Structure 1
Amino acid sequence: MSVPLPPEPIPGARLLFSLDPAVSHLNHGSFGAVPITVQRAQQRLRDEMEADPLRFFTQGLIDRITHARRHLAGFLGADPDGTALTVNATTGVAVALQSVGLRPDDEVLTTDHGYGAVDFAVRRECHRTGATHRVLRVPLSATTEEIVQIVRSGLRPGRTRLVVVDQLTSATARLFPVAAIVGVAREHGVSVLVDAAHAPGMLPATVQSIGADFWVGNLHKWGYAPRGTAVLVVSPPWRERVEPLVVSWEQEAGFPGRVEWQATADYTGWLSAPVGLYVLRTLGVDRVRAHNAALAAYGQRVVGDALGVRPADLPDPGGPTVAMRIVPLPAGLATTMDGARALRARIAERLAAQVAVNTWDGRGWLRLCGQVYNSPDEYDRLAVQLPTLLDQR
């Protein structure tokens, strides 16, 4: 079976970014890349802040944050009054976890595809409250129906208080049927927290169509916002119970203000985030999604072929707009977190390529992303050079 053709490049897209041209940036999903226009918009706001800090923080800043939040919520299909800006999805998860009010007889259900930092947060909250953390194993090859059934079978009515599930997983680039999982959990009176760190900008599903009790997503990955821009979306029954991690002067304002206002934080990233969506819309949202997904699929095939992986053994992400793909590494490589980090660093140093290397289910996986600033030859070079580097272990 031949390698699929890469997509046609989007003219001028590479010039929108200030990335080092000597490096192949094939890991947009970790920290994103901020377009130059967005960088400049944020710098203008920082200049304004430094020119008169008292005026910036005390005259209209809350209204400006509200305006930015409404713009971002509209793009995501979320209720602006139920949306709070926060610095990242992990922070949103922590806010949600502490707001649920876990008790010693409760349990939190997650899957083995969950993000490591979120797992840490769940364990800490369970340790603090006496609740139990239980992990469901979901095979990489599981169908949508099988995933829903695994969650359904894993629920323990009267015990399971919260399900935490990824919309798109970081380690395995797996798309989860979150709306169906929410429906199943609701049948049993169980709340759901959706970790949608990679969804904003990449996936077309709206927040309201999912219907989760809590939904968190990063704008600084696929939404071209400055880093430190994320949202926590909360359903109406929970909003009055949501408490910030740190209490500040908007505590009496209720949600979302009490979560957003953190005194002298740098809010310029939030205020300039709508410019990132403007860049995305100018390029064409559907066009960018289709390009990035096709490019990631191309990269997966050429690298997989170079490593001797049969096309049938290359995991399918489960959706046409997923711009991340994974390739299984040879047995014995990156089987621990330290090993994965070391291999990623070696690839960056020796091949001038930034990729993600993860450990999942006892083996190592290479994760490749596609973005408008990438070109097919970057994946081709990696495919040529990577086998030799891996043989040098």
Structure 2
Amino acid sequence: MTPYDQGVSAGEPPAALPGARLLFSLDPGVSYLNHGSFGAVPVGVQRAQQRLRDEVDANPMAFYAGEGLMDRVVHTRRHLASFLGADPDGSALVANTTTGVSLVLNSVRLESADEVLLTDHGYGSVFFAARRQCRRAGATARTVALPLGASSAEVVSRVRAALRPGKTKLLIVDQIASATAACLPVREIVAAAHEHDIPVLVDAAHVPGHIPVDVAAIGADFWVGNLHKWAFAPRGTALLSVAPPWRRRMEPLVVSWEQEQGYPLAVEYQGTIDYTPWLAAPAGLFTLRTLGWEAVRAHNAALAAYGQRVLGEALGVTDLPHPGHPEVAMRIVPLPSGLATTAPEAYALRTLIAEKLAAETQVNAWGGRGLLRLSAQVYNRAEEYDRLAERLPQLLHESKRQ
């Protein structure tokens, strides 16, 4: 991993990909600079999903009770797992990364002397899930701090030092952190944990379609990522990959008619849930490949770096963190001291920016400081970041005075 503290070098913004903006139905009156939170579904994928919805409603009995539903799910799972370098037979489609995390926590079977170790870059709902499961078992959830700007070597060293062999029952680590956009060296972290036979869950919510990944090569016991963020799938599509020793232990959160089949079918079949996001997900990968995934990655990373630079210059921030991977298309800009230092304050500021500046961003409170997170996707333009950079300083000044 490139050191996270190397700073940003961004000159002119990249050229737009021809026709890419027309693939989306986003409100043209809003600068949507927050693809990382909920993604944006291309029109063609929306239509593919709608055709599936029409099929369901034309004959629900045939769709849900016919022999072909799970065959279609398995076929889709194999297609998506192949794209991610995951074993299709050890993977399951789930609604989102948080669901996958809860499945893992439910299946690890914590005991009172155990602990779950997380990093302070982790996602909020993952912390909540870990603490709830620990509370039920009488176990402990503990956090290791990773400084903003730590190199790969320092990250691995800090995680290794925090492990407690014989006590740490599970390590949860982000591949790309939501709050900080840090791309952590998960392969090296997994190797360090496995030296002590400690299983690792990689939260890869932001990875599929964002950066290249080979899930099998990472070697994690559990890996879960959303395809509805950067892989253009309909919302409600994620893939959980489980290493062979754990597959028989995986217990679905809800028991269904496929319970006796075991993992992954017991996890995937949930009665009358909406399967159309999963079945339409390959259309998202088709869109990505049609645009040229390499070109998409290059465009998005360059545009995110440009946006970070112009916002940083506007706010007088010179120490702009690099995410640690050249193709990460999320960047953070530390906000002035005293702004968005708590979760409620961060939410209020994000809402204010959306309402006053017609710009959707993400604001997180991390380590006692507010972080503005920008995303870049093929529908974005440099002028959207320029416009935000021009108007945001005054808004923050007014907000701080109130």
| TM-score range for the pair, normalised by the shorter chain length | over 0.9
Q: Hey, what's the Cα distance between the residues in 1 that align with 2:292 and 2:158?
A: 37
CA RMSD of aligned residues (A): 0.9
Aligned partner of 1:72 among 74, 80, 83: 80
Unaligned 5+ runs, structure 1 = none
With normalisation by structure 1, the TM-score equals 0.99
Shift of residue 2, structure 1, vs aligned partner: 8.4
Give identity over the alignment, percent: 66
The answer to whether the aligner puts 1:364 opposite 2:367 as a matched pair is no
Q: What is residue 272 of structure 1 aligned with on the other side?
A: 280
| 1:10-55 Cα distance to aligned partner (Å, 9 max, x none) | 0000000000000000000000000000000000000000000000
| 1:368-388 Cα distance to aligned partner (Å, 9 max, x none) | 001000000000000000001
The answer to whether the aligner puts 1:218 opposite 2:213 as a matched pair is no
Aligned partner of 2:266 among 258, 261, 271: 258
The answer to whether the aligner puts 1:385 opposite 2:369 as a matched pair is no
Q: Give 2:321's aligned amino acid.
A: P
Q: Hey, what's the Cα distance between the residues in 2 that align with 1:162 and 1:3?
A: 39
Aligned partner of 1:125 among 122, 129, 133: 133
3-state secondary structure, aligned to 2:150: coil
**Within 5 A, what are the aligned runs for 1:152-167?**
152-167=160-175
Q: Hey, what's the Cα distance between the residues in 2 that align with 1:225 and 1:2?
A: 31
Q: Hey, what's the Cα distance between the residues in 2 that align with 1:77 and 1:319?
A: 19
Q: Give 1:202's aligned amino acid.
A: H
**Within 5 A, what are the aligned runs for 1:307-326?**
307-310=315-318, 313-326=319-332
Q: Give 2:155's aligned amino acid.
A: I
Q: What is residue 45 of structure 2 aligned with on the other side?
A: 38
Q: Hey, what's the Cα distance between the residues in 2 that align with 1:199 and 1:34?
A: 16
With normalisation by structure 2, the TM-score equals 0.96
3-state secondary structure, aligned to 1:165: strand
Q: Give 1:166's aligned amino acid.
A: D
Q: What is the total number of aligned residue pairs between the two structures? A: 391
Asked whether the 8 Å contact 2:9–2:305 carries over to 1, the reply is no
Q: What is residue 35 of structure 2 aligned with on the other side?
A: 28
Shift of residue 141, structure 1, vs aligned partner: 1.3
Q: What is residue 336 of structure 1 aligned with on the other side?
A: 342
3-state secondary structure, aligned to 1:44: helix
Q: Hey, what's the Cα distance between the residues in 2 that align with 1:381 and 1:300?
A: 13
Asked whether the 8 Å contact 1:26–1:355 carries over to 2, the reply is yes
Unaligned 5+ runs, structure 2 = 1-7
Q: What is residue 5 of structure 2 aligned with on the other side?
A: none
Q: What is residue 187 of structure 2 aligned with on the other side?
A: 179
Asked whether the 8 Å contact 1:198–1:222 carries over to 2, the reply is yes
Q: Give 1:10's aligned amino acid.
A: L
Sort the Cα spacing of 1:274 and 1:3 in 2 relative to 1 into closer, same or farther, 3 A.
closer
Sort the Cα spacing of 1:244 and 1:2 in 2 relative to 1 into closer, same or farther, 3 A.
closer
Q: What is residue 381 of structure 2 aligned with on the other side?
A: 375
| 1:201-237 Cα distance to aligned partner (Å, 9 max, x none) | 0111210110100001000000000000001100000
Q: Give 2:151's aligned amino acid.
A: T
Q: What is residue 357 of structure 2 aligned with on the other side?
A: 351
Q: Hey, what's the Cα distance between the residues in 1 that align with 2:350 and 2:160?
A: 37
The answer to whether the aligner puts 1:94 opposite 2:102 as a matched pair is yes
3-state secondary structure, aligned to 1:379: helix
Q: Give 1:26's aligned amino acid.
A: L
Aligned partner of 1:16 among 10, 23, 30: 23
3-state secondary structure, aligned to 2:17: coil
Q: Hey, what's the Cα distance between the residues in 1 that align with 2:302 and 2:386?
A: 15
Q: Hey, what's the Cα distance between the residues in 2 that align with 1:315 and 1:298?
A: 13
Q: What is residue 240 of structure 2 aligned with on the other side?
A: 232
| 1:282-320 Cα distance to aligned partner (Å, 9 max, x none) | 11111111111110000000001000111xx00011111
Q: Give 2:344's aligned amino acid.
A: D
Q: Hey, what's the Cα distance between the residues in 1 that align with 2:23 and 2:217?
A: 32
Shift of residue 337, structure 1, vs aligned partner: 0.5
Sort the Cα spacing of 1:74 and 1:3 in 2 relative to 1 into closer, same or farther, 3 A.
closer
Shift of residue 3, structure 1, vs aligned partner: 5.1
Sort the Cα spacing of 1:2 and 1:295 in 2 relative to 1 into closer, same or farther, 3 A.
closer
Asked whether the 8 Å contact 1:79–1:208 carries over to 2, the reply is yes
Q: Give 1:56's aligned amino acid.
A: F
